[in-house]
């Protein structure tokens, strides 16, 4: 059983199918949720939180049914929403305490946890200031603090770096990494930015048109695909490409002696130099890499044009 188990989950909103037959187990310590605008990411989060009921099929969070166990699921989830929803004239500590009480903690414990959460995210010195006076970066951090205060088992972060400057973004990413490393809280992170998911997550769920386009362990997916090589060559490039294909490489030639190829695992870069030497071809530059999360995403989309809607 995974952290989240999806069983032919279908959700209809306004008579339209938004999530269509999602099936899979989310098992990672930090799970990235990706997809173009309108893919169904927010609908899936709201369904896990019990705000949308499945039209058919179901979803389970830590074994609890999202249709029948909504209150118990919410007790175990910390939710950092994308949009701000503050009581502006409350101080930071009063706001986080209030949210912790709503999550079920008694007042004394809620206050203690509020102080701890605010110090943890770096807002200890401003915890008595009104939330309405906070900067954008501080508001993002207090949303994280209120999601952590009651000690959840699963932390759902919806666009956690939204609108942050580079310094504030790096602070948020580092905090998320620390939460993941501690290991007591699992994370589900929805983002339009591939780099955020790449830096913080070990598993990724990619949605497209309300369906699962990919669900994989990021590192295993990278290792399972072959090396991508880009070459700049001079000489008999076309014959060189023919011979390289003969070794089992997928190869494409471009003007100016540029060649892109995918090598099977049994071959190494030195094999290319051997063939080049035999053909009198000069390899002037070689760059080698494994799949990036961008490659995984584009492959799931089946169309590179889809990338325009996601921050690459």
Tens of pLDDT, residue by residue over 40-51, are: 999 999 999 999
CA-wise closest residue to 185 among 97, 27, 77: 77
C-alpha to C-alpha distance for 79 and 152, rounded to whole angstroms:
9
The answer as to whether 308 is a domain residue is no
| pLDDT at residue 306 tops 70 | no
Same-domain check for residues 149 and 81: yes
Same-domain check for residues 50 and 179: yes
Q: Report the CATH number that the domain containing residue 10 is assigned in CATH.
A: 3.40.50.300
Mean pLDDT of the region 153-160: 96
Return the number of other C-beta atoms located less than 10 Å from residue 33's C-beta: 25
With tokens 């008595």, the residue in question is 128
The answer as to whether 158 is a domain residue is yes
Residue 280: CB partners within 8 Å, gap ≥ 6? 235, 236
Q: Which of 170-179, 266-275, 290-299 is modeled with the greatest confidence?
A: 170-179
Instruction: Give CA separation, 233 vs 36, 221, 227, 263, 301, in Å.
Output: 37, 30, 18, 17, 32
Residue 99 binned pLDDT confidence (cut-offs 50, 70, 90): very high
CA-wise closest residue to 83 among 27, 150, 163, 201: 163
pLDDT for the residue numbered 309: 42
Same-domain check for residues 61 and 137: yes
Contact 163, 137 (CB under 8 A): no
114-143 confidence digits (pLDDT tens): 999 999 999 999 999 999 999 999 999 999
Of 66-70, 144-148, 294-298, minimum mean pLDDT range:
294-298
Same-domain check for residues 11 and 61: yes
Cα 25–27–29 angle (5° rounding)?
A: 155
Same-domain check for residues 167 and 262: no
The answer as to whether 154 is a domain residue is yes
The answer as to whether 234 is a domain residue is yes
Same-domain check for residues 137 and 269: no
Of 13-17, 112-116, 151-155, 259-263, minimum mean pLDDT range:
259-263
Q: Domain limits at 263?
A: 225-289
Mean pLDDT of the region 161-186: 94
The answer as to whether 57 is a domain residue is yes
Same-domain check for residues 134 and 268: no
Residue 224 binned pLDDT confidence (cut-offs 50, 70, 90): low
Mean pLDDT of the region 27-54: 94
Residue 175 binned pLDDT confidence (cut-offs 50, 70, 90): very high
Contact 309, 37 (CB under 8 A): yes
Same-domain check for residues 93 and 232: no
The answer as to whether 312 is a domain residue is no
pLDDT for the residue numbered 255: 86
C-alpha to C-alpha distance for 141 and 135, rounded to whole angstroms:
10
The answer as to whether 295 is a domain residue is no
Q: Report the CATH number that the domain containing residue 239 is assigned in CATH.
A: 3.30.70.270
Residue 1 binned pLDDT confidence (cut-offs 50, 70, 90): low
Residue 171 or 249, more confident: 171
Same-domain check for residues 35 and 134: yes
Same-domain check for residues 165 and 264: no
The answer as to whether 304 is a domain residue is no
Domain total of the chain: 2
Same-domain check for residues 243 and 217: no
Region at 71 (left for phi over 0; alpha for psi -120 to 50; beta for the rest): alpha
What whole-number percentage of the chain has pLDDT above 70?
94
Same-domain check for residues 215 and 229: no
Residue 225 binned pLDDT confidence (cut-offs 50, 70, 90): low
């Amino acid at each position: 059983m995974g952290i989240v188990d999806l069983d032919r989950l279908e959700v209809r909103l306004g008579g339209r199918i938004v999530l269509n037959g999602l099936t899979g187990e989310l098992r990672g310590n930090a799970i990235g949720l990706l997809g173009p605008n309108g893919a169904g990411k927010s609908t899936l989060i709201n369904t896990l939180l019990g705000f949308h009921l499945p039209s058919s099929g179901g979803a389970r969070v830590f074994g609890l049914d999202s249709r029948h166990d909504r209150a118990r699921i919410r007790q175990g989830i910390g939710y950092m929403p994308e949009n701000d929803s503050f009581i502006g004239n409350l101080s930071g500590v009063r706001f986080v305490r209030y949210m912790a009480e709503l999550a079920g903690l008694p007042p004394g414990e809620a206050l203690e946890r509020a102080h701890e959460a605010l110090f943890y995210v770096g807002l200890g010195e401003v915890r008595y200031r009104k939330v309405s006076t906070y900067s954008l970066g501080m508001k993002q951090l207090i949303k994280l603090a209120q999601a952590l205060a009651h000690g959840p088992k699963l932390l759902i972060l919806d666009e956690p770096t939204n609108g942050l400057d580079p310094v504030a973004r790096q602070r948020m990413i580092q905090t998320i990494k620390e939460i993941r490393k501690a290991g007591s809280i699992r994370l589900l992170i929805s983002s339009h930015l591939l780099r955020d998911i790449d830096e913080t997550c070990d598993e990724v769920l990619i949605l497209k048109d309300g369906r699962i386009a990919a669900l994989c362990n990021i590192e295993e997916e990278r290792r399972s695909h072959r090396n991508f090589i880009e070459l700049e060559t001079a000489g008999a490039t076309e014959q060189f490409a023919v011979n390289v294909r003969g070794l089992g490489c997928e190869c494409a030639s471009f003007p100016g002696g540029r060649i892109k190829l995918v090598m099977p695992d049994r071959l190494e870069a030195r094999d290319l130099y051997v063939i080049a030497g035999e053909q009198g071809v000069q390899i002037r530059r070689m760059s080698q890499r494994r799949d990036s999360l961008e490659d995984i995403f584009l492959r799931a989309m089946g169309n590179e044009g889809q990338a325009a809607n996601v921050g690459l």
